Structure 1
Amino acid sequence: MKVAAVDAKDDGHGHGSEKEDDGHGHGAELPEGVVELGEAKVRAAGIALAKAGASTLREELQLNGIVQANQEAVVQVTPRFPGVVRTLSKRLGDQVKKGDLLAVVESNQSLTTYELRAPMAGVITERQASLGEYVSEQKPAFVITDLSTLWVDFSVYRRDLAKVKIGEIVRIDPEDGGEPIEARISYLSPIGAADTQSAVARAVIANDGRFRPGLFATGAVATAEQSVPLAVSIDAVQSLEGRDVVFVREGDRFAARDVTLGRRDGRSVEVVTGLKGGESYASRNSFVVKAELAKGSASHEH
């Protein structure tokens, strides 16, 4: 199907080449390259709208990282005297408050009992004590971790170390389908790892539930920036018969608009021709609009 002009044209005999819409979307043939999607369908499909406008493109250094517990918020609870665990109040994974009872230990020396209590709030991430088991000051019975903040440790190869500095913003993506978050590099390891020939760059983030220790995350640090007068989201651009198009919102319709693209980064792409500033377009899930357009074309062919 050829995507041509999106407006109906007169055929030279006083009749429009396309029927006018009746205002309700019933019985009217749409121009080529146009699909009708009401607000309810747009919301249901998760299509996001944005306005085309000026933007700043960023050349970015891509980094691979791993989420870890904040090691400055970890405490080990060690028995004061060797003895036998008589009662256990908390299990692995339990949330505890400061002062909560963890266990009761009977001392081997005095045969009296004493309590192990949580010195801070957090989550029990290790438990080395079992009921009736002998414990001593040689190893912790519990490890409590405050997971309200997390570390994201990125590996930076030697050739890129000069591009990453403390205080720089890193855009972190947990790759869960949501939007990345931004944080600042707070630590750059002065010692590299011999096996990977890389050093650690660390960001501290608030734990909003999207990040879990042990899982991977990716990061992006801007190494250069340039302003462009008009840009759209990269996700907005679709290929239609070999041409780049952006779906522009016009009332309850989307119109496929041919565009010429220029510079780009990981999120946005410059539009040289085809769009005007302030025009509303499908910035996310634009492939749904393309699919609806294809369905409409197939129905006309039959």
Structure 2
Amino acid sequence: MNKLAIRYWALVFSLLLAACGDAGTGSNGHEDEHGHGEEAAAMEQGPNGGRLLEDQGFVVELAIVEEAAAPQYRAWPSRNCNAVPPADVQLQVSLSRLGGRVDQISFEPSANFLRSTSPVEEPHSFTATVKASYQGRTHEWTFDSIEGRTRIAPDIARGFNVETELAGPGQVRETIGVYGHIETIPERVSAVIARFDGTVREVAVVTGETVRAGQTLATVESNDSLNVYTVTAPIAGVVTERQVNRGEQTAGRLLFRIVDTSQVWAEFSLFPADVQQVRKGMNVTFQPVGTSISVTGTIDRIDVTSQPNQTVLAHAVIDNSSGALVPGMYLAADIEIASHDVPLVVRRSGLQAFRDSTVVFAHIGDEYEVRMLDLGRQDKVWVEVLGGIEPGTPYVTANSYLIKADIEKSGASHDH
């Protein structure tokens, strides 16, 4: 190393080394960093904004730098008020995380500092053990850096209905949102007329009455034979129209209309951009507007002509034996155009915004801690996770906002 470089490092650390004997924690020192109160204020910071670690005159300033593509550690070593060439120091950091995971971080020299060879993954919440070897001596420090973590007793969590489940594999549905309404099925509508013209002697039903197939609707006296015969219901359903009264002539006109609504059509309008993606046999889930009813079905017909507004109608036959679906109801629906099996999903209900990330809260013992997620495809229930949480990790799925509020109340820092 030339003298000019050594003088440069000495200048960088001049502020730090003005009181070298007072810097940082002692050998095997242990700090608890929560970013508030006296403990956080007691953390010594160096000229690079990092934590100062000192042992018998040997000092390491350790900082997490988030300017790069991924957060990484940088370390600036010195001894007895003189900068130490980074290449002469072997540095290793072990990060013990909630749940038992330990990250081993190695370093390599770069310019006037040591740089970690692997990123420091979020959250930056761990117990750190730092080991530095220089000129045959090993120096070791331990400190806590806690963020995005809180402790809640189980009985309190139960009282607030905080629910958890395990992160794991699942299915993400790709859907198209459409709108429509409930329609009667043409094959289930019957227009009833008299077989022979004549005079109506009796009318046995009224509008809105439910009838069974073969039930008598009216009796008619034939004009030709003067015989009296019955007009019966050809299908079971509801009488929606009654156009005849006693004493009137049938005259070949409509007498009754019967509609069977035990099955109905859910009819949806497809925009031109969506028509090519929808196929017969695809699943559809819809909800009548203004209700809490959720219904699933299958597309069984797509029109081959468009409507005047350029939409194309798609139909799904829906069981309506309960009578809950009334023709004319407006619908909001999702047609499933693809389904993806993915190795890791979490529920959308558990997601929260935390700083600049979307997170869930891992639940380990009595403690809850943020997990910053890298997200992929999603539907209304599930979201694919590309990184940020390990499979099998318990996480909060219901009332996660309470965990976020408790963490923010504690003021857990993002200092390093």
TM normalised by structure 1 equals 0.68
Whether the 8 Å CA contact 1:80–1:136 is kept in 2: the answer is no
Partner of 1:74: 189
Whether the 8 Å CA contact 1:56–1:228 is kept in 2: the answer is yes
Whether the 8 Å CA contact 1:234–1:269 is kept in 2: the answer is yes
Partner of 2:401: 290
Percent identical residues: 26
Deviations 1:171-230 (A, max 9, x none): 33445335552x33221212112x211221222122254433211223333445544321
Partner of 2:327: 213
Q: Amino acid of the residue matched to residue 169 of structure 1?
A: N
Q: 1:85 to 1:33 in 2, by over 3 A?
A: farther
Q: 1:281: Cα distance to partner?
A: 4.8
Counterpart CA distance in 1 for 2:321 and 2:379 is 24
Partner of 2:205: 90
Partner of 1:199: 312
Partner of 2:139: none
Q: 1:291 to 1:61 in 2, by over 3 A?
A: same
Q: 1:76 to 1:94 in 2, by over 3 A?
A: same
The secondary structure found in structure 1 opposite 2:349 is helix
Q: 1:132 to 1:60 in 2, by over 3 A?
A: same
Partner of 2:167: 52
Counterpart CA distance in 1 for 2:367 and 2:231 is 65
Partner of 2:44: none
Tell which structure's C-alpha radius of gyration is larger: 2
Partner of 1:264: 377
Structure 1 unpaired stretches of 5+: 11-29
Whether the 8 Å CA contact 2:183–2:264 is kept in 1: the answer is yes
Whether the 8 Å CA contact 2:199–2:220 is kept in 1: the answer is yes
Partner of 2:23: none
The secondary structure found in structure 2 opposite 1:290 is helix
Counterpart CA distance in 2 for 1:81 and 1:152 is 37
1:159 aligned residue (253, 268, 273): 273
Q: Amino acid of the residue matched to residue 151 of structure 2?
A: P
Counterpart CA distance in 1 for 2:203 and 2:216 is 9
Q: 1:266 to 1:138 in 2, by over 3 A?
A: farther
Whether the 8 Å CA contact 1:63–1:156 is kept in 2: the answer is yes
Whether the 8 Å CA contact 2:265–2:316 is kept in 1: the answer is yes
Q: How many residues align?
A: 264
Counterpart CA distance in 2 for 1:90 and 1:48 is 55
2:285 aligned residue (171, 174, 182): 171
Whether the 8 Å CA contact 1:37–1:254 is kept in 2: the answer is no
Whether the 8 Å CA contact 2:98–2:364 is kept in 1: the answer is no
2:236 aligned residue (108, 121, 124): 121
Whether the 8 Å CA contact 1:88–1:131 is kept in 2: the answer is yes
Counterpart CA distance in 1 for 2:168 and 2:258 is 49
Counterpart CA distance in 1 for 2:396 and 2:226 is 73
Q: 1:233: Cα distance to partner?
A: 2.3
Counterpart CA distance in 2 for 1:87 and 1:240 is 74
Whether the 8 Å CA contact 2:362–2:395 is kept in 1: the answer is yes
Partner of 1:36: 156
Whether the 8 Å CA contact 1:6–1:32 is kept in 2: the answer is no
Deviations 1:141-199 (A, max 9, x none): 22222222211122122232221222333333445335552x33221212112x21122
Give 1:8-47 correspondences, 5 Å limit: 31=151, 36-38=156-158, 42=161
Counterpart CA distance in 1 for 2:392 and 2:210 is 49
TM normalised by structure 2 equals 0.52
Counterpart CA distance in 2 for 1:34 and 1:256 is 15
Q: What is the root-mean-square deviation in Å for CA atoms of aligned residues?
A: 4.0
Deviates further, 147-156 or 257-266: 257-266
Q: 1:297 to 1:54 in 2, by over 3 A?
A: closer
Q: 1:263 to 1:75 in 2, by over 3 A?
A: same
> Which protein, 1 or 2, shows the higher relative CO under an 8 Å CA cutoff with sep ≥ 6?
1
Counterpart CA distance in 2 for 1:266 and 1:120 is 42
Whether the 8 Å CA contact 2:189–2:257 is kept in 1: the answer is yes
Q: 1:127: Cα distance to partner?
A: 1.9
Counterpart CA distance in 2 for 1:231 and 1:257 is 16
Q: 1:292 to 1:111 in 2, by over 3 A?
A: farther
The secondary structure found in structure 2 opposite 1:38 is helix
Whether the 8 Å CA contact 1:135–1:141 is kept in 2: the answer is no
